[in-house]
Amino acid sequence: MKASTEDKIKGSFHEVKGKVKEKAGQAAHNPNLEDKGSAENLAGKVQKKVGQIEEVFEK
């Protein structure tokens, strides 16, 4: 599997995981968990974007 594809998949996984943590934090009234979820969501978006950029440079 290409590195770009792997980064995009991992990024999507972290995005979803972050959204789940964010919603769980909101439901449990836990701002710490909500913040961790937001950070992981953002990190996933960045990683997915890195994968897209790597794909462009592979061509």
Provide the domain limits for residue 24: 3-58
What is the structure's pLDDT at 58?
Answer: 81
Determine how many CB atoms are found less than 10 A away from the CB of residue 58: 10
Note down pLDDT in tens along the chain; length 59 residues.
Answer: 788 899 999 999 999 999 999 999 999 999 999 999 999 999 999 999 999 999 898 87
pLDDT of the residue at 59: 72
**Whether the Cβ atoms of residue 22 and residue 37 lie closer than 8 Å to each other:** yes
Instruction: Provide the residue count of the chain.
Output: 59
Q: How many domains does the chain have?
A: 1
| CB 20 within 8 Å of CB 44 | no
Q: What count of other Cβ atoms lies within 10 Å of the Cβ of residue 5?
A: 13
